[in-house]
Chains A and B, each alone.
Chain A
Amino acid sequence: MKLVMYNDFQLGLYQDNQVFNLSESLTEINAPTPQDMINAVITDFDSTYRARIQEIAGKVQPIPMDQVHLRPPLPRPGKIVAMAANYMESGALKEPKPLNGFLKSPESVIGEGATVVLPAGHQAAVFHHEAELGIVIGKTAASISADKAYDHIFGYVNFNDVSARGLHPNSFLWMKSHDTFGPMGPYLVTADEVADAQNLQIRLWVNGDIRQDYNTSDMGHKIPKMVEWLSSIVQLDPGDLIASGTNHQGLGPIQNGDVIEMEITGLGRLTVNVKDELNREWHRGVDSDIADWVAGRSSEPPAWAKR
């Protein structure tokens, strides 16, 4: 099942290029905010809403997809927990880097067709895209073991962990949490439609040029281990998002006027724009300095990381 938010944050079911309105039928749900609506559906999906949604879709008149304005499927998740440096860099690393992660501001989320705004007040050395598999939590997970991890996953979504480099001190808050730095969508795909989350191709294009093109099989700490570790620290709740990390081979600058598209097998295509009122310019294409550094081919960090 593919769930969407659209127009004034109506919850919908996406099917065959059409959207079926769910919010108008799910009046029993107490949802002061759009995120409360999707959280309620996620929490009781297996027991109630999978069947309810199918029933509703059999009754309501669908709207053609091109007539709706898509919104992020998780408009404001309770938490975004992101993994840091969690890929083998296309097999270049012998073993995964030590587990690390960070919290990203849930305020950063934007959806299909929206715009990443590079903050004018922050003089970053460069802004990067980071295409990632977004994992949506379905059941509360506190200190769960790896073998139970998939039981706690509701679904998957394209996620772009937009990053500002070279701000000092180079903390994750300053690097990752700017408003609009969390593009997500176009829809949220339930886990039953993803046969093997550990074997998905992730692609990202900037202005039509492919930049990132990697498989989730290259992940350092695999999904079960990741969920085990994160849930040993923070309690993960329904509707929370895990950004599972990026392969740095293929990262590149984003700048004013860019169009960023990303696609993960089965998760649709997410397109967002980039705006920078300062019109800062960087070279176009892949940043090999960060790619070589993270992959261990170069001991020389990028200039912005040298402070």
Chain B
Amino acid sequence: MKLVFFDDYKLGVLNKDETRVIDMTLTLEEIPHVGPGDYMCRLIEKWSGYKSRLQTNMLDMPGIPLEDVQLRAPIPKPGKILCMAANYLENGTLKEARPINGFLKNPSAVIGNGDTIELPPESVDIFHHEAELGLVIGKKARNISEAEAYSYVFGYTNFIDVSARGLGPKGADVFLQGKSYHTFAPMGPYLVTADEVPNPQDTNVKLWVNGGLNQDYSTSDMGHSIPKTLAWLSSITTLNPGDIVALGTNHQGLGSLQNGDVVERETPGLGRLTVHVSEPLKREWPRGVDHAMADRMRG
């Protein structure tokens, strides 16, 4: 099933051929929530009670043509966004995975399809896109084993871990400045339930800037697998329904972001996420793939 927020944050699902949005407001309005921020998380928490009703409604209701709605971020304010750092083998050039590492990304930074990444005026070396597979937690997970990890996964979504390079004290952990600026977490267009993603460990991640394909890699190149990642993260902090785990990027293909850019992101079955870039100072960086960055990250 493909879950969406649309227009003024109505909850809906896509029909089978993905051409129409079916408004599920009446089915889901009884779920206690404060606003869009926590609504999807609460639905995920109570999923077993709603899944079959949504499936039934999907067949009965006509829906609205997809082109007539404005899609929103499927999880506008997750409880947490946990990101994996340097978690790819860089197209197999590394002999082994780098030491496992990650960071928390600002959950208020989420934007959705059609929204705009607003680059801050800070003196950075460069702003990069990082296309990532976003995983959505389905059940409270604390100290889980790798063997049971997938049973805690609710679904997947396209994610872009927008990054600012060169800020903060040298040698220190500067993920806050590097990753957490407002609007630096584009996600969507849908949240796709796990049953529709047969092999998340072998799927494709693509990202285009202004139509030029920059990133194109398989999640089979991941350093620490999805089960290993979830076991490690849950050994540190409790994962809750609706939390996002961004599984890291392959740096072979990162490129600059600058004013006016259109960024598109696609993984089979997850739809295409399109966002814009705004940068008031209109600074310019080389366009296309950042080969120096790619070389630094290769084994």
Contact = CB atoms under 8 A, between A and B. Distances in A.
Nearest to A122: B235
A142 interface: yes
Tell me what chain B mostly uses at the interface: helix, strand, loop, or mixed: loop
A233 B182 CA distance: 6
A121 B235 contact: yes
B39 to A, nearest CB: 10
A171 B106 contact: no
B85 A171 contact: yes
A298 interface: no
Contacts of B34: 30-32, 36, 39
A102 B173 contact: yes
A79 B106 CA distance: 8
Contacts of A169: 99, 101
A179 interface: yes
Contacts of A237: 108
A161 to B, nearest CB: 14
Interface in B45-77: 77
A169 B120 CA distance: 28
B104 A177 contact: yes
Contact of A168 (B80, B82, B99): B99
A104 B104 contact: yes
Residue from B77, B85, B105, B180 having most chain A Cβ neighbours under 10 A: B180
A171 B175 contact: yes
Contact count band on A: 35 or more
Given A79-B107, A79-B108, A100-B168, A171 B101 contact: yes
Given A79-B106, A104-B104, A233-B181, A172 B38 contact: no
A108 B79 CA distance: 13
Contacts of B109: 234
A177 B175 CA distance: 14
A25 B172 CA distance: 48
Contacts, number: 115
Residue from A30, A76, A103, A178 having most chain B Cβ neighbours under 10 A: A103
B143 interface: yes
B292 interface: no
A221 B142 CA distance: 36
A171 B103 contact: yes
B97 to A, nearest CB: 12
A142 B182 contact: yes
A81 B109 CA distance: 14
A162 to B, nearest CB: 13
Interface in B229-251: 235-238, 240
B277 interface: no
B174 interface: yes
Contacts of A235: 108, 182
A58 interface: no
Interface in B249-288: none
Nearest to B106: A234
Interface of A: 30-33, 36, 39, 76, 78-79, 81, 84, 97-108, 119, 121-122, 142, 168-174, 177-179, 232-235, 237
Given A233-B176, A234-B181, 19 more contacts: A30-B34, A32-B33, A78-B108, A79-B106, A100-B172, A100-B176, A100-B177, A101-B176, A102-B104, A103-B103, A107-B238, A121-B235, A122-B235, A169-B99, A173-B103, A174-B236, A179-B238, A233-B106, A233-B120
Interface of B: 32-34, 38, 42, 77, 79-80, 82, 85, 99, 101-109, 120, 142-143, 168-169, 172-177, 180-182, 235-238, 240
| A-B interface, 6 closest residue pairs, ranked by CB to CB distance from nearest | A103-B104, A32-B32, A105-B237, A98-B169, A234-B106, A107-B238
15 contacts: A30-B34, A78-B108, A79-B106, A84-B172, A84-B173, A100-B172, A104-B104, A105-B104, A107-B80, A107-B237, A107-B240, A142-B182, A169-B99, A171-B175, A233-B106
